[in-house]
A = this chain, B = another copy of it.
Amino acid sequence: MQQINVGIIGFGTVGCGTFEVLTTNREVIANRVGAEVVVKRIADLDLESDRGIQVNRDLLTVDAMDVIDDPEIDVVVELIGGVEKAKEFILMAMEKGKNVVTANKALLAEYGSEIFEASERYGTSLGFEASVGGGIPIINALRRGLAANRIQTMIGILNGTSNYILTKMTKEGLPYVKVVQDAVDLGFAEDPPTLDVDGTDAAHKLAILISIAFGSPVSFNEIYKEGITDLTPDDIRFAGQFGYSIKLLAIARNLGDRLQARIHPAMIPKDHILANVNEAYNAIYLEGDFVGPNLYYGLGAGKRPTGSAVVSDIIELARQTRVGLKGFMPPLAHVRSPDKKILIQPIEELTSAYYCRFSALDSPGVLSKISGVLGDHHISISSVIQKGREVNGSVPIVMLTHEALESNVQKALSLMKGMKILTGKTIMIRVESG
Interface residues of A (CB under 8 A from B): 17, 20-21, 24-25, 28-32, 34, 129, 135-137, 140-141, 144-150, 215, 271, 273, 276-277, 283, 288-299, 302, 304-305, 307-309, 311-312, 314-316, 319, 323, 325, 328-330, 333-335, 337
Nearest Cβ on chain B to A124's Cβ, whole angstroms: 14
Query: Interface SS of chain A: helix, strand, loop or mixed?
Result: mixed
- A24 CA to B290 CA, complexed, in Å: 10
Contact of A334 among B32, B295, B316, B337 (CB under 8 A): B32
Q: Is B334's CB under 8 angstroms from A328's CB?
A: no
Q: Is A146's CB under 8 angstroms from B34's CB?
A: no
Chain B residues contacting A215 (CB-CB under 8 Å) are 31-32
Contact of A141 among B28, B29, B140, B299 (CB under 8 A): B140
Q: Is B290's CB under 8 angstroms from A25's CB?
A: yes
- A146 CA to B145 CA, complexed, in Å: 13
Ordered by A's residue number, 15 sampled pairs between the chains whose C-beta atoms are within 8 Å are A21-B290, A29-B147, A135-B290, A135-B292, A137-B144, A140-B144, A145-B309, A147-B311, A147-B315, A149-B308, A291-B298, A292-B299, A293-B297, A295-B298, A296-B296
Chain B residues contacting A323 (CB-CB under 8 Å) are 325, 328
Nearest Cβ on chain B to A415's Cβ, whole angstroms: 41
Q: Check A297/B294 contact, CB under 8 A, given A25-B148, A141-B140, A276-B276.
A: yes
Q: Is A308's CB under 8 angstroms from B333's CB?
A: no
Closest residue of chain B to A326 (Cβ to Cβ) is: B323
Q: Is A32's CB under 8 angstroms from B333's CB?
A: yes
Contact of A291 among B140, B277, B304, B335 (CB under 8 A): B304
Q: A136-B294, A137-B141 are in contact. List 8 more A-B contacts (CB 8 A).
A: A135-B291, A135-B292, A144-B312, A273-B273, A276-B276, A293-B298, A295-B296, A323-B325
Chain B residues contacting A129 (CB-CB under 8 Å) are 145
Contact of A140 among B24, B145, B299, B319 (CB under 8 A): B145
Contact of A28 among B150, B297, B314, B337 (CB under 8 A): B150
Chain B residues contacting A31 (CB-CB under 8 Å) are 215, 334-335, 337
Determine how many copies of this chain the complex contains: 2
Chain B residues contacting A316 (CB-CB under 8 Å) are 144, 147
Q: Is A25's CB under 8 angstroms from B291's CB?
A: no
Q: Is A293's CB under 8 angstroms from B299's CB?
A: yes
Closest residue of chain B to A310 (Cβ to Cβ) is: B148
Chain B residues contacting A290 (CB-CB under 8 Å) are 17, 20-21, 24-25, 135, 304-305, 307-308, 311
Closest residue of chain B to A215 (Cβ to Cβ) is: B31
- A335 CA to B30 CA, complexed, in Å: 8
Chain B residues contacting A319 (CB-CB under 8 Å) are 328-329
Chain B residues contacting A328 (CB-CB under 8 Å) are 319, 323, 325
Q: Is A292's CB under 8 angstroms from B304's CB?
A: yes
Q: Is B292's CB under 8 angstroms from A148's CB?
A: no
Closest residue of chain B to A137 (Cβ to Cβ) is: B145
- A308 CA to B142 CA, complexed, in Å: 12
- A147 CA to B147 CA, complexed, in Å: 20
Q: Check A146/B308 contact, CB under 8 A, given A135-B292, A141-B141, A276-B276.
A: yes
Chain B residues contacting A141 (CB-CB under 8 Å) are 137, 140-141, 145
Chain B residues contacting A312 (CB-CB under 8 Å) are 144-148
Nearest Cβ on chain B to A416's Cβ, whole angstroms: 38
Chain B residues contacting A149 (CB-CB under 8 Å) are 25, 28, 308
Chain B residues contacting A288 (CB-CB under 8 Å) are 135, 308
Chain A to chain B: the 7 pairs with minimum beta-carbon distance, closest first: A137-B145, A148-B311, A135-B291, A295-B297, A291-B308, A290-B308, A294-B298
- A307 CA to B292 CA, complexed, in Å: 11
Chain B residues contacting A305 (CB-CB under 8 Å) are 290-292
